[in-house]
Amino acid sequence: MILTLLRATRYDYLKKYSFQAIVPIALLKIDNTVRYGGKVTITTPAGTFRCDKIYLISPQNKCNLFYEQNDQRRLVRYQVEKSRIAIVLLKTTQ
Residue 13, pLDDT above cutoff 90: no
- pTM here? 0.78
pLDDT digits (tens, 9 = 90+) for 30-86: 888 889 999 999 999 999 999 999 999 988 889 999 999 888 888 999 999 888 888
DSSP assignment of 26-86 equals: GTEEEEEEEEEEEEEEEEETTEEEEEEEEEEE-SS-EEEEEEESSTT--EEEEEETTSS-E
- 3-class DSSP assignment, residue 89: coil
Whole-number pLDDT of residue 17:
74
Residue 94, pLDDT above cutoff 70: no
